[in-house]
Amino acid sequence: MPTEIGLILGTLTGALIGLVMGLLAIRRQGIYFTMITLALAQMLFFVALQAPFTGGEDGLQGIPRGKLLGFIDLSSDMTLYYVVLAIAIAGFALIVRTIHSPFGQVLKAIKENEPRAISLGYDVDRYKLLAFVLSAALTGLAGSTKALILGFETLTDVHWSGHAAFFGGAGYVAGQAIKAWGVPTEIGLILGTLTGALIGLVMGLLAIRRQGIYFTMITLALAQMLFFVALQAPFTGGEDGLQGIPRGKLLGFIDLSSDMTLYYVVLAIAIAGFALIVRTIHSPFGQVLKAIKENEPRAISLGYDVDRYKLLAFVLSAALTGLAGSTKALILGFETLTDVHWSMSGLVVLMTLVGGLGTIVGPIVGAVIIIMLENKLGDIGNWLASVTHIEWFNTLGDSVTIVTGFIFIVCVLAFRRGIVGEILNLFNKRSASASH
């Protein structure tokens, strides 16, 4: 196939993926939009990992440059440089032209005041979808051009890179303290918790004055920096992880070598953490946070130092996450890069949204569902295969992320409040109907 046709097909593929994502996600906003697109992107990643033609972890190798339009020989790096430069200029010109077109002006109006744009009769969702597809097409063109230049395409190009830093960082410190420094188990857990709080404090001081995508990207960048520190630091064990973390004795007399004893200790820690969260929510501090969430300008006008309250909440969240990470390292006896990878942050958000954002019990329900899927999906698939005699169900265990992503998308589209949120909303409606 000619090179230019390959580039066009790559661009159209980007546009098609953008269209599918847009149709599913464009009516959602904020974290819901982000998580739907992220879940779909992760599903695509695992498709690329398993599809035969992609080459799996080795990638698609040996892509020839060929000749553009049949006569421009791209085997020369200098010729290819000028061709890529021309494509980049053309793409930039298209963006500039779009921004200053009537279409671009409508997009600007939607961004500045969406309700007003709707009142003027504009089909806001259609404009958003078109903009999303255009962006996806240009991204597809960029990806196609990169594959042409390098001559290969790998899984890194379909993998997307926050709370993971607290979770994994605390696990490493707690594990190192217990294993190498010989501190008592409870001191190791405390050090891990303090590490999570300290990382949260540093991140918060740098990012708390920012909002939306800026806050997300700052915390994500800092978390990725910690990931690479964990990858290269001598004591972490690199890709092998920190191994052989002893459980020891809690408070000097509770022997944690017994799984049942450890289970009750972890259960007590979890209940204590949950009780702290509930107490915080119903405290004056928690009520101020609620006021900031509902109407930040009004909270500022009442004299509250909003940034300080946000920072304290962020550090408290980081400390509890650090306690969870330290406890996990103690249970498993090792700490690996998985816990500081961005996907751990995504997993936490996924659990919260599936269970019910803004509810107390929702994240716990979401965590139970997601962890159960991760550990039992293969068994469920085997059972379905034996009942239905459909062999495809036997492969479910290898497609956990795809199934989880699909379930998440269904939950966000059909149960935006999450499972617990929808149940509470149903009870509230029935109570309101009964009172009338």
Q: How far apart are CA 56 and CA 14, in angstroms?
A: 20
CA dihedral 115, 119, 123, 128 (to 10 degrees): -20
Find out whether 130 and 110 touch, Cβ atoms under 8 Å: no
Number of domains in the chain: 3
Is residue 397 located within the same domain as residue 303? no
Q: How far apart are CA 388 and CA 407, in angstroms?
A: 21
Paired with 72 in beta bridges are: 68
Is residue 21 located within the same domain as residue 108? yes
Is residue 308 located within the same domain as residue 426? no
Helix axes 164-179 and 306-332, enclosed angle (nearest 10): 50
Nearest to 175 by CA among 255, 246, 226, 233: 246
Q: How far apart are CA 10 and CA 92, in angstroms?
A: 18
Is residue 34 located within the same domain as residue 130? yes
Q: How far apart are CA 420 and CA 359, in angstroms?
A: 7
- Listed residues 291, 319, 340: the one ending a domain: 340
Find out whether 37 and 159 touch, Cβ atoms under 8 Å: no
Is residue 322 located within the same domain as residue 380? no
Is residue 178 located within the same domain as residue 322? yes
Q: How far apart are CA 270 and CA 277, in angstroms?
A: 11
Predicted local confidence at residue 154, as pLDDT = 44
Predicted local confidence at residue 141, as pLDDT = 61
Is residue 212 located within the same domain as residue 301? yes
- Listed residues 322, 340, 358: the one ending a domain: 340
Domain that holds residue 199: 162-340
Is residue 104 located within the same domain as residue 199? no
Neighbours of 134 (CB within 10 A): 16
* Amino acid identity at 156: T
Is residue 130 located within the same domain as residue 235? no
DSSP codes joined into one string, 189-230 = HHHHHHHHHHHHHHHHHHHTT--HHHHHHHHHHHHHHHHHHH
Distance of CA 296 to the CA centre of its chain: 26
CA 433, 435, 436 angle in degrees (round to 5)?
65
User: Can you tell me whether residue 386 is helix, strand or coil?
Assistant: helix
Neighbours of 208 (CB within 10 A): 22
Q: Which residues of 84-96 are buried (b: 16+ CB within 10 A; e: fewer)?
A: beebeeebeeeee
User: Can you tell me whether residue 243 is helix, strand or coil?
Assistant: coil
- Listed residues 293, 321, 340: the one ending a domain: 340
Is residue 137 located within the same domain as residue 204? no
Burial class (CB in 10 A: 0-12, 13-18, 19+), 142: middle
Is residue 295 located within the same domain as residue 397? no
Is the C-alpha dihedral spanning 105, 110, 112, 114 positive or negative?
positive
Q: How far apart are CA 376 and CA 381, in angstroms?
A: 9
Question: What is the residue-level pLDDT of the chain in tens, covering all 436 positions?
Answer: 777 787 788 788 878 887 877 777 777 766 667 667 766 776 777 677 667 777 766 676 777 777 877 777 777 777 877 777 888 888 778 888 888 888 888 888 888 888 888 888 888 888 777 877 777 676 666 655 555 555 544 444 433 336 788 888 888 999 899 888 888 989 999 999 999 999 989 888 888 877 766 777 778 788 888 888 888 888 888 888 888 888 888 888 888 888 888 888 888 988 898 888 889 888 998 888 888 888 888 988 988 888 898 889 888 888 988 898 898 888 888 888 888 877 777 777 777 778 877 777 888 888 888 888 777 777 888 888 888 887 777 777 767 777 777 777 777 667 777 788 888 888 887 877 776 6
Find out whether 356 and 427 touch, Cβ atoms under 8 Å: no
Predicted local confidence at residue 16, as pLDDT = 84
Instruction: Please give the model's pTM, rounded to 2 decimal places.
Output: 0.69
Name, in order, each residue with C-beta under 8 angstroms of 192's C-beta and a sequence gap of 6 or more. Answer: 170, 171, 173, 174, 177, 322, 323, 325, 326, 329
Is residue 302 located within the same domain as residue 355? no
Nearest to 65 by CA among 78, 57, 56, 74: 74
Predicted local confidence at residue 153, as pLDDT = 45
Nearest to 340 by CA among 85, 91, 206, 161: 161
Name, in order, each residue with C-beta under 8 angstroms of 2's C-beta and a sequence gap of 6 or more. Answer: 66, 67, 69, 70
